Amino acid sequence: MRVVLSGGGTGGHIYPALAVASRCAEEIPGTEVLYIGGQRGLESSLVPKEGILFKAIDITGFRRKLSFENMKTVMRFLKGVRSSKQMLREFKPDVVIGTGGYVCGPVVYAAAKLGIPSIIHEQNAVPGLTNRFLSKYVSTVAVSFEGSEAAFPEAKHILYTGNPRATTVFEADKNKGFESLGLPKGSSIVLVVGGSRGAKAINEAMIEMAPYLQELDQLSFVYVTGDNYFTPTLEAITANLGGIPRNLQVLPYVHNMPEVLAATSLIINRAGASFLAEMTSLGIPSILIPSPNVTNNHQEKNARTMEQAGAAQVILEPDLSGNILFETVKEIMQNKTRHDSMSESSRRLGKPEAAHLMVQEMRRLAGSVHS
């Protein structure tokens, strides 16, 4: 099978696409993959490292107010469609998949216009502008959240798959996670993640919370700051306490996140869709602090879906403090009944077979063309 993938801007769009590529290689030996991304997006560095053929187009997103820049974006979109058509004609894919981000717009639209079977995957509970636009043209819309199908009234076919990233994490080795952190197997780990770039509000709360951590010395706290906040965090905690608490590790980045997640007992995080998929595939309870600085406030909607299912506790950023965060961790981790209930609820939301379902749909669409 020959597959074109497109998705970019953030890891939340890129990692699901890479999960699909990995699953294709396992289930359909000999699969050839081309990834079409943006020139300036994170995908331009991440994808080639995976040994996947990468080509780029020049595309930017629309601004939310009228501006001359939006006229330039329209021109880039049209140029991107032309470039994508040329790439697709040369590669001759059986199916084209878009996993979000504005780079998908011209690529998937070009595929639809060329009559190539196409799929878009929506990670969030509230779809983005690009996927809403593309849903009218593609063969299949795949969604991560059950019940979000109604957001695509003009779609030809909708499939609830979950997020393909869940498959990658579900298969991770938790013992390697413990080992990489230097912790004994079976340790109770509270993982705090501010995102790849970090999160100011979470960082401030963690600095405030640090003096309380020794009260929960049976827990191991791991705070992944993001590069921007690593040095300031170490300096602030050291200045306040004269050192880092024995049960706290402060790290700028974790390169084996699936394995660390597999070893985690509770996670504190934003509410990006890919991370939620990873957590639920493993049944990890969570404290979610949705970012207020995202389109359509989609992170809070993602988080509320988790909370309503009993899998998460939501703390909105204006309500966040070190004391509130500590008391929430304490209440969950010292109440085994609640922790186990949240874990089970999280697991029920998980779709570890998500990447397999995507590959099945790809096969179905490719077969319908060749039959």
Query: Percent of the chain at pLDDT above 70?
Result: 96
Confidence of residue 36 (pLDDT cuts 50, 70, 90): very high
* Summary mean pLDDT of the chain: 92
Q: Mean of the pLDDT values across residues 277-302?
A: 92
The pLDDT score that the predictor gives to residue 147 is 86
Give the whole-angstrom CA distance, residue 190 versus residue 286: 9
| Phi, psi at 92, each rounded to 5° | 55, 60
Confidence of residue 72 (pLDDT cuts 50, 70, 90): confident
Distance of CA 290 to the CA centre of its chain: 13
pLDDT > 80? residue 65? no
CA neighbours within 13 Å on the CB side: how many for 63? 9
Domains plus CATH for the chain?
2-163+352-370 (3.40.50.2000), 169-349 (3.40.50.2000)
Give the C-alpha distances (Å, rounded to integers) separating 4 from 114, 240, 309: 14, 52, 35
Confidence of residue 185 (pLDDT cuts 50, 70, 90): very high
198-235 residue pLDDT tens: 799 999 999 999 999 999 999 999 999 988 899 999 99
Give the global pTM: 0.82
Lowest mean pLDDT of 59-68, 75-84, 152-161, 336-345, name the range: 59-68
Our CA angle for 131, 134, 135, nearest 5°, is 85
The annotation status of 38 as a binding-site residue, yes or no, is no
The annotation status of 10 as a binding-site residue, yes or no, is yes
Q: Which residue has the tokens 């079977």?
A: 117
The annotation status of 11 as a binding-site residue, yes or no, is yes
Q: Do 312 and 338 meet the contact criterion of CB atoms below 8 Å apart?
A: no
Q: Which residue has the tokens 């509000």?
A: 201
The DSSP string of 171-233 is T--HHHHHHHHT--TT-EEEEEE--TT--HHHHHHHHHHGGGGGGGTTEEEEEE--HHHHHHH
Q: How many other CB atoms are there within 10 angstroms of residue 332's CB atom?
A: 20
The annotation status of 105 as a binding-site residue, yes or no, is no
Give the C-alpha distances (Å, rounded to integers) separating 351 from 50, 225, 238, 301, 356: 24, 28, 41, 19, 10
pLDDT > 80? residue 197? no
pLDDT > 60? residue 242? yes
- Helix, strand, coil percentages for the chain (3-state, nearest 5): 50, 15, 30
Confidence of residue 112 (pLDDT cuts 50, 70, 90): very high
